Amino acid sequence: MLRMALSVLAALIVIFSLWESYKWMGQQTGDAWPGTSVELPVSTDDIIMPHAVDIVGELFADIRDGRATLPLIVFLAKKAWFTFQEAAIGFFLGSAIGLGLAILMLRWRFAERGLLPWINVSQTIPLIALAPIVVTWGRHQNLPDIASIALISTFLTFFPVAVSALRGLQSPTPEHVELMRSYAAPWWTTLVKLRLPSARPYLFPAFKIAATLSVVGAIVGEISIGTKTGLGRATLEFAQRYAVWPERLYASVIGSAFLGLTVFGLVTLVERRVLRRAEG
Amino acid sequence: MSTAIGGTTREHAVCIDSVDMAFNVGNDDEVQALSSIDLQIEQGEFVSLIGPSGCGKSTMLRLIGDLLTPTSGSVSVFGKPAHDARVDQDYGMVFQHPGLFDWRRVRANIELPLELHDWSKADRTDRSAEMLQLVKLDGFGEYYPRQLSGGMKQRVSIARALSFSPRLLLMDEPFGALDEMTREHMQGELLRIWKETGTTVVFVTHSIPESAFLSNRVVVLSARPGEVNSVIDVNLGERTPDTREDPKFFQTTTEIREALRAVEGAV
Ligand SMILES: Nc1ncnc2c1ncn2[C@@H]1O[C@H](COP(=O)(O)OP(=O)(O)OP(=O)(O)O)[C@@H](O)[C@H]1O
Ligand SMILES: [Mg+2]
């Protein structure tokens, strides 16, 4: 855990220094590569690239939230907590659905042939199109917006889990399957004692991808639904006022990245615990 | 024909009746693995199968264990169809590859069949400790398979097969990966268990002395398609370490070797 935190910090310092050196170089040369008149791909003025110190400083500057006034970092944390809840529901629901679909496809070959293409096609549906459908339907069912957003997040998370879980469940060698057969173990027992444990090395990478996607889904869901709160909503507002206050948008991006890192870290922690646990 | 434990009125432990076995029937890669096999094994007998590589020894064990279904003919085990014997858990199988679950500790691997047979936790622990001692792996119960050598893994897989005291043991080259001393020790242990429990053993091996030392009968198979070439009775009485130096032992190994030569020459 400490090592994880340290590596995040180290990465931040590297990005920070790269950012500032690039900006410094651009400022010296008037946004051209040194010694040439070739323009830099990204100009380095304070609107496009505010100083990293200013972005960090902005995190601790006050902002109005309704009637209260509070530091931006606290504001973002509050919004992130809301988004985290949506993402968490999306993650667990999506993982359960993904695992369920994988077991279904494992049990019945025709289900694999019938479902797998559709599972793949499902991911080409643009979220922008999906979101209003889900929201309108959700409001029709008197679902709170948080549920609709979680559903959009679910839609992203179930996919990597379904695909990897199927591969993992099919990964035991013929010898292992034969051994369980020699014990006359029923299908269900073979699933629990052999296939699920064998699937773990496939499942956890998928859970990590799903965790990150669940945050993406929740943020995109908030933006396309037009909720009152959440990190996505905050990002949208700051984006609209980017030209006057760029530091805030960058700060909210840092907030999203941090949320993504947090869920990723949580899954990694669970993975370590599960893999360390001996069976039987 | 010599039988170790009498009882001629009992049904055979294994009865293979004009069995043919082909893989991928109707395809270009069709293989005739076994052809018109007839073999009866009495209860309490120790029978070895020996023959050139690829002649169908593993296939024969799989047929007895109902892990494969013969193309024609029938296999019965203790008087019932092989399928019923498998469901009744009448046999324990030691595969050619140890096939341990690498996420389970050695102890938990040995307890796997017991777990599936709903043994209580306490009984399982007692039995696995006993089994670890038997295969000379006491102290390794909490290790993971990846921390063991090939021979140690194979001994775990033997312990796993013996753990629920099956009436029939099907063993596919179980000692192939062991050094000579451990091998002789395990042979002695296997004979001891066999005598004490009255189990029937069907044992696949590549080693002529091993087959002679262990068996009541040695079945020599020919290759492509696998057929029973000859069945050699072994009469060496009580096995002791001295048996291996007995002139009668050499006589037996010579007999097996000649039968094998005839078979290999025909390939
Ligand atoms: N699942 C399978 N599919 C197709 N062919 C198979 C299969 N299993 C075995 N065979 C074929 O059947 C024949 C007998 O194989 P088997 O494994 O029984 O031989 P074996 O006597 O045990 O050999 P070895 O001593 O090398 O272990 C071989 O020609 C093999 O290619
Ligand atoms: Mg074999």
Whole-model pTM?
Answer: 0.83
Does B185 lie in the same domain as B83?
A: yes
Does B206 lie in the same domain as B82?
A: yes
List pocket residues of ligand 1, CB cut-off 6 Å: B 23-24, 31, 33, 53-59, 96
Does B232 lie in the same domain as B146?
A: no
Q: How far apart are the first and last CA of chain B?
A: 29
Does B177 lie in the same domain as B261?
A: yes
Residues in chain B: 267
Asked if A183 and B116 touch (Cβ cutoff 8 Å), the reply is yes
Does B171 lie in the same domain as B51?
A: yes
Size of interface A-B (CB pairs under 8 A): 52
Task: Please tell me the total count of domains within chain B.
Answer: 2
Q: Within an 8 Å CB–CB cutoff, is residue B91 touching chain A?
A: yes
Q: Which residues of A touch B112 (CB under 8 A)?
A: 183, 193, 280
For ligand 1, atom 22, the nearest C-alpha belongs to B58
Q: What token pair was written down for B246?
A: 């007995």
Distance from CA of B117 to the nearest CA of A (A): 9
**Residues β-bridged to residue A32:** A39
A182–B67 C-beta distance less than 8 A: yes
CA-to-CA dists, residue B70 to A180, B95, B203, angstroms: 20, 19, 20
* % helix, strand, coil for chain A, step of 5: 75, 5, 20
B87–A280 C-beta distance less than 8 A: no
pLDDT digits (tens, 9 = 90+) for A88-130: 999 999 999 999 999 999 998 877 788 888 888 888 888 778 8
Does B106 lie in the same domain as B37?
A: no
Q: Read out DSSP for A144-186?
A: -HHHHHHHHHHHHHHHHHHHHHHHHHT-S-HHHHHHHHHTT--
Q: H or E segment at A9?
A: helix A2-29
For A158, residues 6+ apart whose C-beta sits below 8 A from its C-beta are A93, A94, A95, A97, A98, A101, A210
Residue from the list A183, A198, A278 with its beta carbon closest to the beta carbon of B116: A183
Q: What is the CATH number of the domain that holds B255?
A: 3.40.50.300
Closest CA to B13 of B163, B164, B169: B169
Give the residue from A192, A271, A274, A279 with the most B CB atoms within 10 Å of its CB, the best one to mutate.
A279
Domain of residue B214 covers 2-90+167-265
Q: What token pair was written down for A255?
A: 């907030």
Residue from the list B87, B99, B115 with its beta carbon closest to the beta carbon of A179: B99
Does B222 lie in the same domain as B135?
A: no
**What ipTM was assigned to the predicted interfaces of this complex?**
0.87
For tokens 């679902």, name the residue.
A143
Q: Which fold has domain A67-279?
A: MetI-like fold (1.10.3720)
pLDDT digits (tens, 9 = 90+) for A7-41: 888 998 999 899 889 888 888 888 888 888 888 88
- pLDDT tens sequence for chain A (280 residues): 788 789 888 998 999 899 889 888 888 888 888 888 888 888 888 888 888 888 888 888 888 887 888 888 888 888 889 899 999 999 999 999 999 999 999 998 877 788 888 888 888 888 778 888 888 888 888 888 888 889 999 999 999 999 999 999 999 999 999 999 999 999 999 999 999 999 999 999 999 999 999 999 898 888 887 777 888 888 888 888 888 888 888 888 888 888 998 999 999 989 888 877 655 4
Asked if B217 and B47 touch (Cβ cutoff 8 Å), the reply is yes
Residue B124 within a domain: yes
For A272, residues 6+ apart whose C-beta sits below 8 A from its C-beta are none
Domain boundaries, chain A: 1-49, 67-279
Residue B95 within a domain: no
From B135, B165, B195, the end of a domain falls on B165
Task: Indicate the angle between helix axes B106-116 and B121-134, nearest 10 degrees.
Answer: 130
Q: Within an 8 Å CB–CB cutoff, is residue A35 touching chain B?
A: no
B113–A181 C-beta distance less than 8 A: no
Cβ neighbours of A100 (radius 10 Å): 14
Q: How far apart are the first and last CA of chain A?
A: 28
Mean pLDDT of B31-47: 91
Residue from the list A175, A185, A278 with its beta carbon closest to the beta carbon of B116: A185
Separation CA A150–CA A211 (nearest Å):
13
B112–A280 C-beta distance less than 8 A: yes
Closest CA to B261 of B50, B54, B56: B50
Separation CA A236–CA A220 (nearest Å):
10
- C-alpha A199 – ligand 1 centre gap (Å): 28
From B165, B194, B213, the end of a domain falls on B165
